[in-house]
Every structure is written in C-alpha cells, then in structure tokens.
A and B are shown apart, each in its own frame.
Chain A
Amino acid sequence: MRTTPFSLRNVALLALLLILSACTPIYQGPSAPVILMPSPPATDPNTYPSPQPQPGPYPGAEDKPAPTVIEPIASRPQVAPSAVDSLLDSAWNAYRETRYDNAVAFAERAQRIDSRRPEVYLILGNCYLAKEQPTQARQMALKGIAFSSSGSATRHKLDSLLAKTNP
C-alpha cells in the first residue's frame, strides 16, 4: 500500500517525539528578577461609589487553552480589487470633472467594499481639499497613510496631500 512507508515514518517520528519529550527538562521558573508594577497609592477618593465585587471571566475560565500565536500579517490581500478599482476610476473621473460630491459618493462605495484601500482616502482627501475643507482633507490623508506601505506611489501622494493641508 502507498501509505505504509508514510505510516511507518509517522510511528517512528512519534516514538522519537515521545523520547525527546521525556528528556526535556521541566521548566523551573524565572531566574531573572520579576518586574512588578507598583501598588496603587492610597489616594483620597472622595466620590468613590460603594465597593462591589466586580465580575471577571465567565465560569469555567480555568480551563485555559494553550496560547495561540498571534502574528502580524506580512501584507493584506486586497478585497474585490476589480470592483474597487472600477469605483475608484469612476471617482477619479468625477473628481477631474469637478463633480466632487459624486467623486465622494463613488469613493465611499469603494470604502464599503474595502475600507483599507489607501486610494479611497487619497480621493476623499483631494475632494475635501478642493471643497476647501482642509481639516477633513488632512484627516483623510492620515487615514490613508495608516493603510499604505511606505515607499508606495499612493503613500507619496498621501504625504504630499498631508503637506498641502498643514495647519
């Protein structure tokens, strides 16, 4: 059977694992000093409400799972790129034709599909700048920057938009 070598290998590896785990030293705890937060100062809280026990986790929380690896993602996949691109194209066209409200409406539709596309905020920022709302334009630029990778063309444009809206 095709699976036999594989199963044998698994059995062998399992045996090896068991042996190794038996040899692993038991963790003895920290040897370095523990950094503790200082105790709270005994302030004079004149307006404290009456003391009440505060509930914490739900019953049975003692049954804790092993820690999960929570890691950042290297790059975020774009959501529905063709739909978003089509809306962004329409938004840029409307922007160029100075139909700013329409451009905003298109960009907001794109935002609904993919709220982390930095181009969305580039368009919105430019529209608000054209509509003489520099504060909103600046905030849009900041939001776009938060979602863009440094060195990208969009980031460069967002940086320049931010510079134009400097208070």
Chain B
Amino acid sequence: MAQKKAPKGRKTPAKKRSTGKRSRNKTQHRSWLRRAFRFSFRYLLLPILIVTAITLFILDGVVRAKFSGTKWTLPTHVYSRTLDIYAGLEINRENIIWELEQLGYRRVSTPSRPGQYAASSRSIELHTRPFVFLDGDKSSQRARINFSGDEISALSDARGKALPLLRLEPIKIGGIYPERAEDRILVRLEDLPPYLADAIVAVEDRNFYQHHGISLKAISRAMWVNLRKGGFAQGGSTITQQLVKNFYLTQERTLIRKAREAVMAILLELHYSKAEILEAYINEIYLGQSGKRSINGFGIASEYYFRQPLNELDVHQVSLLVALAKGASYYNPRKNPKRATARRNVVLKLLNDQDIIDEVATKQAAAKGLDVTETPGLTTNKYPDYLDLVKRQLREDYDDDDLAQEGLRIFTYFDPQAQREVESSLSNRLARIETQRTLEKNTLEAASLVVRVGSGEVLALAGGRERRFAGFNRALDARRMIGSTIKPAVYLAALEHPEQFTLGSLIEDGPISVTARKDELWTPRNFDRTSHGPVTLYTALGNSYNQATARLGLEVGVPEVADVVRRLGYEGYMAEVPALLLGGIAMTPYEVAGIYHTIAAEGFYTPLRAINAVYSADNEPLTRYPFKVEQRFSPTSMHLLHYALQVVMREGTGRSAYAQLPDSLVLGGKTGTSNDQRDSWFSGFSGNYLTVVWMGRDDNGPTPITGGSGALQAWSEIMSGLDNQSIPFARPEGVTYAWHDPATGLGSEKHCNGSRYVPFATGSEPVEYASCQRNFESDVVDWVRRWLKLN
C-alpha cells in the first residue's frame, strides 16, 4: 500500500516535528515489521506450516495404516504329523527321545513344566505342551511311557493310571517364505515368559511408561555420554523410536530420518497404547539371521536359539534374547559366546538393579551357560522334497502370495521317523551298490516314498540321494520306464474274469512274437533267456516271466489292461500297445505309488495326499483335506492278486527281502527292471506301509542292477525300520480256497505230491482233478510235528 508523502520544504514546529518524526519512524518500523511478518508468513512460515501439516498428515496416515492393519507378512509354517503314543506301538525309547528333541523338549531329572522330559533305561516321563489340534484343544499332560524292547509296553498318567493315548504336538518341518525373507512367530503380551517385558523396558527404555514417544532426558544423556567418549557410545532412542525405525523406516543414519523417526514415534504414541507398542516391538525387533532369513521378534528367536517356545524360557535365556536386541550379529551367541555371555550378564545386573530379580536369582542365572542349541532350531526346510509336494498340493487352493504372506499353518502327514529311514537307506544302499559294482561314486540316483496303506497319506518322500538338497525332485518329476512294475495290472485284468482265468490257470511261457510297427516283430524274452513252459499265473507273476505275461496280456486285451491301470489311479497318457504289458510306459515314483496304493488298499482308490489341514495365522481352520475313497476292484480279485504278490515275496523275485525282514511278516510286492537295466524298481507293501523305490542314472544310461538287486535292497532296509503290520490276509466272501496241482492246473488234494492251497473266485475252483501221487513224506512229517508238539 502506498504511503502519503509529506510536502517538501514545509516547516513545522520542532516538538511537533520531533513527535511526528518518532511517530512516523514508529509507524514505519511497525509497518516494516508487519511487512516482514507478512512476508515471512506468506513465503516462509505458511509454506512450512502447510508442508509440516501435510507431512504430519501423511506420516500419521502411514503410522496408522501399517499399525492398524496386518502388521507383518507372515510366512507359512509347515508341520509334521502329530505322534500318537499308545501301549503296543512299535517304537523304541531312542526314537521317542529323538522326537522330543526335535520338538525342543528339555531333558531334566524330574519334569515339572511343559516341554520337559526325563528318561531312564526303560521309561520316559514327560510333560507335554498344550496344542490346538484339529480335533480340539489339548492341554498339557504328564505321562509315563514304559518300553519293552522296541515296543511301548504301558502308558500311564502322573498318578499311574493307564492312559489309552498320548499325543505329541507336530514338529515344524519348514516354511514358505516371502521374497523379503523374514521369519516370525507372533506372540502376545499375555503369552510372554516372566521378566521378558520388564527386561526389555529395563534395558532398552526405562522411562517407557512415562514419555510420549521420545525422551529428551534419554537423548540428553546419550549426547552427554557420546560427547565425553568422543564418539557414538549410547543411543537415546526409546522403544517407540526403535519400533518406528524397524517397522517403518530404513536403517540410514541421517538427521532427516532421525527427525521423521521422532515425529512418527510421537504420532504412534498418540494413537496407540503402551501395551500395543511394546507387543509390536517384541514381534518386530531384529534378533538374528539364518541364511537368507532374518529372525524377527522374540517368538521366532526363541525357537532359533533354544528350540523352545518363548513361554518356556528361563530368566537367563530371556536375558540373552534381550541382550541380542543391542546387536544380534555382534553378540551372536553361537559365534561369540563370550561376548554374548558378558552382555547377557549386563542385562541380568540391570534387572537386579531395578529390583526385577533378586540377588540370588541374578547370581544363579549368571552362572548358567547360554543354553543355545548347537544347530539353529529352524533350519531352512530340512525336507525340501516333501515340502515340494506340499506346495504343489497347496497351489490347487491357494495362490503364492497367500502362501508366503498370510502366516498359514499347514499340517501334513510327514513322518520324520519314516523320512529318516528313507534317507539313510537310500544313501547306504547306493553307496554299497556302487562299491560292489565298481561304479564311480554318485553314478546312481534314487527316489522313494512311503505311504500309509488305506489312508493314502504320504509319510516320507526323497527325490534324490542327497539329503536337504532342493534340486530335481525325482520322486515327483522323474518319468522312467517302469518295466515289470506294471505286471500286477495285467494279472488283475485277467483275474477279473474268473470264468476265463484263475490263479491256477496255466499259461505258456514260451517264445512269442507279434507284428509291431513297420512290420517289426515284438519278441519279448525272459530275463534268463529261458522259456519255462506252461506255468500257473502266480508262478509267472512271482518269477516275473515276460513271455507268459505278454501272452496273458494279449489274451486279456491291451485296452483292458490299460483300463485296469487307469482304475488303479494312473491319470497320464498311455499308448495302448503290447509293450505296455511289460512296462513300456514311463511313470514317476509318485504315480507308481498311487497305483500300488490301490492294490495295497485292496481295491479302494484313494488319492495320495500330503496335507491334512490348513489353518490361518489366528488358528482358524481354513481347509481340510479329508480322506476320500472309491472302490474300484472287487475284494475277490484283489485277494487273488495279493496271493500272487505274496508269492513274489516268498518264492519269486522279491524273496531276498526276507534277508532283512522277519519271516513272520506278510508282504506283497513286485520288482521292475526296464530295458538294459536302466531303471530298477521295487514297489511293495505290508499291512500298513507302502514303499516305492526307484534307482537308476540321471542320464538314463544302463546300470548293472535289476529291480531285485537294486531297489529291492533299499526297499527292504526302509521297511525294516518301520513298525510294519502283516498284510491282514483274510478270506473275503466270494473266495474259496482249494488244493490244486501246479503242474497241471487241475484240482488236487492236500496229501498229493506238489499240491498247493490256492484261492479261487467261488465257482471257478477246478472241477477236474489231477492224478494224485500221495506224499507220504509230508504225511509223516506232519504226523511227527503234531506228535512232537503234543509231547
């Protein structure tokens, strides 16, 4: 605004002049100030205020948005099966202890808290942890397990009363992680062990409950200490500021970042309670590094360092974790135990100084070791091949983002004890075969899986000989020629026609040729290059005669055999050509297991499954994968096939299994060897386990091993480590046993020479009888046996 100027040369009285000048000066000064103020306000302060307001608004939004919603992307954690313990279970004391150690149970003299056990030579006393199981919550329980050899002889509670069952929680076997690989187990304040919250406050921010996000006192003290020491010696950040730094900001050290941290800390305190902030801090703080994964929060750190749940930690362990907050790498207790111990003891002293623990407890805790496990409690996916199967089955229902971020809990059927057997047997046997056959080391590869018969639960899976290596998963992806593995399907197709074929029917094992493509002849031959003449069906399958099988398959019809293979569970493409009858088809071990499971389960098809259920991070059930079943074959034809597969094991190509397995165990199975011995297979089952083993070379080259000399040996070793039950070979309705003469295929009598007791579909048993040469020898032996038993 323009000022009115005084006219030039005009005289005024001095006083008036003086007063007027002062007044004018004053006015000018005021107007300058006003102008300056206006200018500052308009061009400096106002923009600053506006920028500050906008910044505050934005920061407030950031603070609230992240803190109120899902705070963290949580990895999916994958668990094994739960272990049901009961009297009669075949498991030895060492295996139960191994299981308890995997779960992080601590061995003590008298278990007084959940997660503890005591072991003597013939018993284990334990205090189980509470766990939310699929069929309901289970509180912790004290129990005693008594052993007799490799079997549980009795199970009782703390008062000695017999218990029907005891259940151990599942073992965490791996996880599915987000790209920014953070691992975390969320904990709530009410679930913390004693002292943890107090210790954090005492060590990190003793005025936590008084300040409003920043502590000027702490900052001044830190500045004073740093000035005196001439460098950075102490930080003045409150717990809230540390949370803001970790949760929202980067780790850079600039003044702007520091200012932003302070503002956000105040905003955080404005909106949220101290309890909420402390809980977030406990779940966010960086406490270590496991390979690519960072260990965030006290929950996962407890598993990582002690292999124990957080709420089971003692004060010396709690103090160590709190000590790590100052520098997880610098105080890493596995790498720098002395440094970590010193820092832990500083924490203990602080707790004592602030009357959180007394002098005696401080001394006792300081005298203890670090108690950190030798190996991290959370090795990254110890069982990558099994986890691969879990992921593939999960992807049918969940997308990758859900799997890596939603903190799902996946309960599987994985049996770590069965997996141990598979891994050690494959590695032992391959090494032995390579030595015996003078092969270069690591020439051969293998894959195997163990399935629970009846339920189709995949208990163990190895995709190669190298443990813990997430490479090519041969169990799921290696399609290899299955050779004679397919033969049971040929015989099953025949046995479904009892009016045409019985187990006692004779089939000619002689030269056979059929015209193949481009006028080539398909001329299958036996492994021993010998024709065996007319043989019974069970003899042909038992000894894996190719000529007899090819003849039988052609008689039944290739399409009919292919149909049986499909009904057994194979869903892939099949060329319906004669070569199919002798295994001219490539399958993965997983597919073969699917087929043999239907056989082992007496004709009931069940899709193989690795997952039991999926739970949310809040422990709500999301998806169950229940047992499904479909009867695809009659009990009659399955009983007959089981008989023939037992012949394989007792008299045929599988009989060397009994060198490693007890004679009393009833087993069924079949060898398989592809052309030029490129693939060695064995697929077989007891009453409760089906195991498939494949061996061969990755380059598909020939090997010196057959199904019997390769895969069967590993199969037998795996099975010898499992608590097998015999195949319950009960005669179903519709089956009649009759004596028959294997040489003629005709009926016979018990006392006739060479006669054999064989099952027939009722109505198909032989009506004509062979001439009988009485077997006096056997009569006398029977008589003598009876007589000796009676006396």
| A contacts, CB < 8 Å to B | 13, 16-17, 20-21, 23-25, 27-59, 61-62, 64-65, 67-76, 79-80, 82-83, 85-87, 90, 94, 101-102, 104-106, 108-109, 111-113, 115-116, 124, 136, 139-140, 142-143, 146, 150
Identify the stretch in B357-365, B402-410, B765-773 within 8 Å (CB) of chain A at 4 or more residues: B765-773
A50 and B743 contact, CB distance less than 8 A: no
C-alpha spacing A58/B673, complex, angstroms: 9
B771 and A124 contact, CB distance less than 8 A: no
A39 and B508 contact, CB distance less than 8 A: yes
Chain A neighbourhood of B545, CB < 8 A:
56
Candidates B134, B630, B737; contact of A72 at CB < 8 Å: B737
A72 and B731 contact, CB distance less than 8 A: yes
B207 to chain A, nearest CB (A): 50
**A45-B516, A116-B454 known; A136-B628 Cβ under 8 A:** yes
Identify the stretch in B269-277, B284-292, B560-568, B702-710 within 8 Å (CB) of chain A at 4 or more residues: B702-710
A48 and B578 contact, CB distance less than 8 A: yes
B483 and A40 contact, CB distance less than 8 A: no
Chain B neighbourhood of A25, CB < 8 A:
773
Chain A neighbourhood of B584, CB < 8 A:
49
**A56-B545, A111-B627 known; A70-B646 Cβ under 8 A:** yes
B708 and A58 contact, CB distance less than 8 A: yes
A48 to chain B, nearest CB (A): 3
B86 and A32 contact, CB distance less than 8 A: no
B769 to chain A, nearest CB (A): 7
29 A-B pairs (CB sep. < 8 Å):
A17-B781, A24-B776, A27-B753, A30-B771, A32-B746, A32-B771, A37-B508, A40-B514, A42-B515, A44-B515, A50-B520, A54-B483, A54-B524, A57-B528, A58-B653, A61-B528, A67-B756, A72-B729, A72-B759, A80-B89, A82-B87, A83-B87, A104-B624, A104-B626, A108-B455, A111-B454, A111-B627, A113-B84, A124-B627
C-alpha spacing A153/B650, complex, angstroms: 36
Chain B neighbourhood of A115, CB < 8 A:
452-455, 688
Chain B neighbourhood of A28, CB < 8 A:
773
List 4 extra interface pairs beyond A36-B508, A51-B520, CB under 8 A: A23-B776, A56-B526, A106-B135, A139-B631
C-alpha spacing A116/B432, complex, angstroms: 38
Chain A neighbourhood of B743, CB < 8 A:
29-30
B627 and A58 contact, CB distance less than 8 A: no
B147 to chain A, nearest CB (A): 15
Chain B neighbourhood of A41, CB < 8 A:
554
Chain B neighbourhood of A56, CB < 8 A:
484, 526-528, 543-546, 653
| Proximity bits, B579-612, A CB within 8 Å = 1, else 0 | 1001110000000000000000010100000000
B575 and A47 contact, CB distance less than 8 A: yes
Nearest A residue to B613 by beta-carbon distance?
A105
**A71-B757, A112-B452 known; A143-B577 Cβ under 8 A:** no
B153 at the interface (CB under 8 A from A): no
Chain A neighbourhood of B604, CB < 8 A:
139, 142-143, 146
Please give me the 9 A-B residue pairs with the lowest Cβ-Cβ distance, nearest first: A48-B516, A58-B708, A56-B527, A115-B454, A83-B86, A40-B554, A86-B164, A105-B135, A72-B731
A144 to chain B, nearest CB (A): 10
Chain B neighbourhood of A54, CB < 8 A:
483-484, 524-527, 546, 550, 582-583, 675
Nearest B residue to A81 by beta-carbon distance?
B88
B708 and A32 contact, CB distance less than 8 A: no
B534 at the interface (CB under 8 A from A): yes
Nearest A residue to B677 by beta-carbon distance?
A55
A146 and B673 contact, CB distance less than 8 A: no
Nearest B residue to A76 by beta-carbon distance?
B728
B575 to chain A, nearest CB (A): 6
A149 to chain B, nearest CB (A): 9
Q: Which of A25, A56, A62, A75 has the most CB of B within 10 A?
A: A56
A35 and B744 contact, CB distance less than 8 A: yes
B635 and A35 contact, CB distance less than 8 A: no
Q: Which of B9-54 contact A (CB under 8 A)?
A: none
B631 and A55 contact, CB distance less than 8 A: no
Chain B neighbourhood of A34, CB < 8 A:
506, 534, 744-745
C-alpha spacing A69/B719, complex, angstroms: 23
C-alpha spacing A90/B135, complex, angstroms: 9
B233 to chain A, nearest CB (A): 58
A17 and B780 contact, CB distance less than 8 A: yes
**A70-B650, A139-B631 known; A48-B579 Cβ under 8 A:** yes
Chain A neighbourhood of B753, CB < 8 A:
27
Which secondary structure characterizes the binding site on chain A?
A: loop
A83 and B88 contact, CB distance less than 8 A: yes
B522 and A51 contact, CB distance less than 8 A: yes
B73 at the interface (CB under 8 A from A): no
Q: Which of B93-108 contact A (CB under 8 A)?
A: none
Candidates B551, B627, B628, B656; contact of A39 at CB < 8 Å: B551
B725 at the interface (CB under 8 A from A): yes
B189 at the interface (CB under 8 A from A): no
Chain B neighbourhood of A106, CB < 8 A:
135
C-alpha spacing A38/B527, complex, angstroms: 23
Chain B neighbourhood of A102, CB < 8 A:
134-136
Chain A neighbourhood of B136, CB < 8 A:
102
| Proximity bits, B118-142, A CB within 8 Å = 1, else 0 | 0000000000000001111000000
Chain B neighbourhood of A37, CB < 8 A:
505-508, 551-552, 555
C-alpha spacing A30/B508, complex, angstroms: 16
B435 at the interface (CB under 8 A from A): no
A143 and B514 contact, CB distance less than 8 A: no
Nearest B residue to A57 by beta-carbon distance?
B653
B663 to chain A, nearest CB (A): 9
Nearest B residue to A107 by beta-carbon distance?
B627
B671 at the interface (CB under 8 A from A): yes
C-alpha spacing A78/B384, complex, angstroms: 36
C-alpha spacing A102/B514, complex, angstroms: 57
Q: Which of B678-730 contact A (CB under 8 A)?
A: 687-688, 706-709, 712, 725, 728-730
A118 to chain B, nearest CB (A): 12
Chain B neighbourhood of A108, CB < 8 A:
455, 626-627
C-alpha spacing A99/B210, complex, angstroms: 50
Chain A neighbourhood of B744, CB < 8 A:
30, 32-35
Chain A neighbourhood of B84, CB < 8 A:
83, 109, 112-113
A27 and B164 contact, CB distance less than 8 A: no
| Proximity bits, B505-523, A CB within 8 Å = 1, else 0 | 1111000101111001111
Chain A neighbourhood of B775, CB < 8 A:
24
B156 to chain A, nearest CB (A): 12
Q: Which of B166-180 contact A (CB under 8 A)?
A: none
Candidates B483, B506, B733, B781; contact of A55 at CB < 8 Å: B483
A59 and B709 contact, CB distance less than 8 A: yes
A59 and B706 contact, CB distance less than 8 A: yes
B659 to chain A, nearest CB (A): 12
B562 to chain A, nearest CB (A): 13
B150 at the interface (CB under 8 A from A): no
B629 at the interface (CB under 8 A from A): yes
Chain A neighbourhood of B675, CB < 8 A:
52-55
C-alpha spacing A96/B165, complex, angstroms: 22
C-alpha spacing A57/B647, complex, angstroms: 13
B527 and A27 contact, CB distance less than 8 A: no
**A39-B551, A40-B514, A108-B455 known; A55-B527 Cβ under 8 A:** yes
Nearest B residue to A70 by beta-carbon distance?
B646
Candidates B88, B624, B754; contact of A79 at CB < 8 Å: B88
Chain B neighbourhood of A73, CB < 8 A:
728-730
C-alpha spacing A54/B482, complex, angstroms: 11
B524 and A53 contact, CB distance less than 8 A: yes
B135 and A55 contact, CB distance less than 8 A: no
B517 and A49 contact, CB distance less than 8 A: yes
Nearest B residue to A139 by beta-carbon distance?
B629
Chain A neighbourhood of B521, CB < 8 A:
51
Candidates A57, A80, A124, A150; contact of B733 at CB < 8 Å: A150
B651 and A65 contact, CB distance less than 8 A: yes
C-alpha spacing A123/B17, complex, angstroms: 114
Candidates B135, B507, B621, B707; contact of A58 at CB < 8 Å: B707
